[in-house]
Amino acid sequence: MEGNSPLSKAYRHALLEAIDDGFCIIEFIDGPHGPLSDYVHIEANSGYYRHTGIEGIVGKRLREIEPDNAQVWLDVYGQVLLTGQPLRFEQEFQAVGRHIEVSATRVGPVEMRQVSVLFRDITARRRTEAALRENVQRVQLALEAGAIIGTWIWDIPADRLNVDEGFAQAFGVAPERDLSQLSIADVMEAVHPDDRDMLAARIRETLARGGTYAHQYRTRRRDGRYYWLEANGRVELTPDGIPSTFPGVLIDIEGRRAVEAERDRALAALRTLNDTLEQRVQERTNALLEAEEALRQAQKMEAVGQLTGGLAHDFNNILAGISGSLELMKVRLAQGRISDIERHLNGAQSAVKRAAALTQRLLAFSRRQTLDPKAADLNRIVADMHDLIGRSVGPAITVETIAAGGLWNTFVDIGQLENALLNLCINARDAMPHGGRLTIETANRWLDDIAAMQRGVQPGQYVSLCVSDTGTGMSPDVVARAFDPFFTTKPTGQGTGLGLSMVYGFAGQSGGAVRIYSELGQGATLCIYLPRHLGEAGEDDLPQSDENMVATAPGSKTILVVDDEPLVRMVTVEVLSDLGYHVLEAEDGPSALKVLAACPELDLLVTDVGLPNGMNGRQLADAIRAPRPELPVLFVTGYAENAVLNHGHLERGMQVLTKPFAADVLARRVRELVGDDSSDRIG
């Protein structure tokens, strides 16, 4: 019979399957880790699965199933392969979480690279041994501490307990009882009723598996009281797996359980205290939050009071000037002194301009001013203002400009930016009463998430305009309030406290921010950050120097004026009528559409933005321009309804005029929009 015949293979397979232990043959191979750095399973019996839980092991490599512990197995089996000496050992099979007992032998000459492995799972035995060692240690400790109070030996088949006097006392056995003839039922009567079921279950479990046993329960002693004890023992099994004897010892743990009970009471009390403390902390926190909210509300009301007080003060001064001028004009007219009328008229107009400037600053702070943004080059703006700034700060202060090369453009209202820059320079001048150096610097800035968050803007590309001085500097308290409206450190009468608040609002309305960097005695730097604009900067509009020279339009030009304020509408209509235009008027959007239906020929729409009755000025303009997209529109507004005006991005043929406005300014805007090139005076 040849060794490779089907019969011999079947015979070999039957032999391998008759073995209860796991069996396999491994063959060493070369791998990425070097020669003999892995092995493959070329044969295995079904016992392999029973003892490891791994199915289909044939064909699998070691590093597939035990990659983290492969070198341990390679070293052991490699020694068997190279020396030819059989080896017996115990090893943890980490991949399956088991301990195995192994017998390894080389197969044939070393050139075959094969090793046969016979093994069995000994995990349960190892656990039992560990538990036994633990019990032995516990008993030894108990002996050393004098805590063992009794012993027993239970003959399980005969159900007879042989105990000593200590055991008898622990279970309250009467002194006259034969201590060698007790049954398990006799001692169970002394176990606390609450512990009996658990004790019986633990005993049944230990009898079923054999090995070590440890359990804690309470027993009634001869004094009638229950005490805690711990029973430690071991169930011995016959070769057939039948429990035979159960020896053990009793350990007194009453003191330990008393300490544990006291500890549990202390922990419960501590938990209660913590819960109470957390509640008290939460209540205190809520009270602090309420107090903080009340303080914040008080500060808010104080700020509102400061704002309204400053407004009342400034506007009362302005109204006093206007009222006084009008009263004097009335008196002089009654007296026939017409030559004095112009002086008082100029005084009233000057007061109106001051009021307009004040409202513009307030609107700038509240980010509601009307802006006319354009693509702008900050370097050119600073260069154009250099002479004006020099004259404004005086000869004692040296003005230096640092213009960044390749500076990006930004999209901003150039006039408002010039005002902001001039405000910063004047503030810097006032901080240097004995002279110093004023530096104006531009730069490109990349603001990452952190830098943008610190400045209150979105991350991205920005252009910065910084004004630095060598003056007195600011304290942290002053820096914190510098942008508040009507807050000023200047003497009474030398500052309104609206300059920096205007700069703050303008920067925010333009999509940027302004920040102060200063210390007392170290000067100050104020930086405006404006978003980068990818378009090209255009040429500035040429200023109109004529004050009274405006166009006289031919009567063929028809203008529709829409405003819900009767006095403003009357003044606008009269100014345009005096210029020779044919003027129609309406008080709101629906009325304007009716007027337009009766007179469809229209050359210009002049409309307030904030109109009542469900249609604002922008909606009216869109409705009228729908069939006539080239119709010019002049929006008139007291503050910037940015959302209505598309945030300053107006369509071609649209302009914005801010209230209050002078008649010549209105005339010039109308002339630009209707395309009139004449230059006659108002008649």
| 551: confidence class by pLDDT, cuts 50, 70, 90 | very low
User: Tens digits of per-residue pLDDT, 54-103?
Assistant: 999 999 999 999 999 999 999 999 999 999 999 999 999 998 999 999 99
**Can you give the pLDDT at residue 520?**
86
Of 121, 119, 126, residue with least CA distance to 211 = 126
What's the rounded mean pLDDT across residues 575-604?
89
**Can you give the pLDDT at residue 655?**
86
**Can you give the pLDDT at residue 561?**
93
| 301: confidence class by pLDDT, cuts 50, 70, 90 | low
| 530: confidence class by pLDDT, cuts 50, 70, 90 | very high
Highest mean pLDDT among 384-393, 399-408, 497-506: 399-408
Q: What is the CA radius of gyration of the chain?
A: 50
Task: Inform me whether the pLDDT recorded for 680 exceeds 50.
Answer: no
**Can you give the pLDDT at residue 30?**
92
User: Tens digits of per-residue pLDDT, 493-523?
Assistant: 444 445 677 788 778 888 898 898 988 888 8
**Can you give the pLDDT at residue 300?**
63
Q: Which architecture does CATH list for 6-121?
A: 2-Layer Sandwich (3.30)
**Can you give the pLDDT at residue 137?**
62
**SS3 annotation, 286-355:** HHHHHHHHHHHHHHHHHHHHHHHHHHHHHHHHHHHHHHHHHHHHHHHHHHCCHHHHHHHHHHHHHHHHHH
Of 154-163, 398-407, 416-425, 533-542, least confident by mean pLDDT is 533-542
Q: Which helix (H) or strand (E) holds 666?
A: helix 663-674
| 543: confidence class by pLDDT, cuts 50, 70, 90 | very low
User: Tens digits of per-residue pLDDT, 317-350?
Assistant: 676 767 777 777 787 788 887 877 877 787 777 7
Under 8 Å between Cβ of 622 and 644: no
**How much is the mean pLDDT over the chain?**
81
Tell me the C-alpha distance between 510 and 412, whole Å.
6
Of 454, 472, 470, 473, residue with least CA distance to 462 = 454
CATH superfamily of 558-674: Response regulator (3.40.50.2300)
Of 17-26, 338-347, 351-360, least confident by mean pLDDT is 351-360
What's the rounded mean pLDDT across residues 168-194?
89
Task: Inform me whether the pLDDT recorded for 648 exceeds 80.
Answer: no
Beta carbons within 8 Å of 213's beta carbon, 6+ residues apart: 202, 203, 206, 231, 232, 233, 234, 235, 246, 248
**Can you give the pLDDT at residue 218?**
93
Q: What is the dihedral of CA 623, 629, 634, 639, to 10 degrees?
A: 60
Task: Inform me whether the pLDDT recorded for 682 exceeds 50.
Answer: no
Of 42-51, 111-120, 609-618, least confident by mean pLDDT is 609-618
Task: Inform me whether the pLDDT recorded for 643 exceeds 50.
Answer: no
- Give bridge partners of residue 150 from the DSSP assignment: 250
**Can you give the pLDDT at residue 399?**
92
% of residues, the chain, pLDDT over 90: 31
Task: Inform me whether the pLDDT recorded for 540 exceeds 50.
Answer: no
Task: Inform me whether the pLDDT recorded for 119 exceeds 60.
Answer: yes
Task: Inform me whether the pLDDT recorded for 672 exceeds 80.
Answer: yes
* For the chain, domain boundaries: 6-121, 126-252, 258-363, 366-533, 558-674
Highest mean pLDDT among 366-375, 399-408, 636-645: 399-408
**Can you give the pLDDT at residue 511?**
86
Peptide bond into 543 cis (omega under 30): no
**Can you give the pLDDT at residue 286?**
83
- Looking at 3.30.200.20, 3.30.450.20, 3.40.50.1370, 3.40.50.2300, the CATH number of the domain 126-252 comes to 3.30.450.20
**Can you give the pLDDT at residue 192?**
94
- Give bridge partners of residue 633 from the DSSP assignment: 605, 654
Specify the higher pLDDT residue, 190 or 320.
190
Task: Inform me whether the pLDDT recorded for 7 exceeds 90.
Answer: no
Tell me the C-alpha distance between 589 and 655, whole Å.
19
Task: Inform me whether the pLDDT recorded for 183 exceeds 70.
Answer: yes
Tell me the C-alpha distance between 605 and 602, whole Å.
8
Number of helical H runs and strand E runs in the chain: 19, 22
**SS3 annotation, 62-126:** HHHHCHHHHHHHHHHHHHHHHHCCCEEEEEEECCCCEEEEEEEEEECCHHHCEEEEEEEECHHHH
Tell me the C-alpha distance between 466 and 248, whole Å.
89
Q: Which architecture does CATH list for 366-533?
A: 2-Layer Sandwich (3.30)
**Can you give the pLDDT at residue 544?**
41
**Can you give the pLDDT at residue 63?**
93
**Angle, CA of 208, 209 and 213, to the nearest 5°:** 100
Task: Inform me whether the pLDDT recorded for 400 exceeds 50.
Answer: yes
Answer positive or negative: Cα dihedral of 177, 180, 186, 192: positive
Task: Inform me whether the pLDDT recorded for 681 exceeds 60.
Answer: no
Specify the higher pLDDT residue, 383 or 13.
383
Task: Inform me whether the pLDDT recorded for 629 exceeds 70.
Answer: yes
Task: Inform me whether the pLDDT recorded for 2 exceeds 50.
Answer: no
Topology alike, domains 126-252 and 366-533: no
| 461: confidence class by pLDDT, cuts 50, 70, 90 | very high
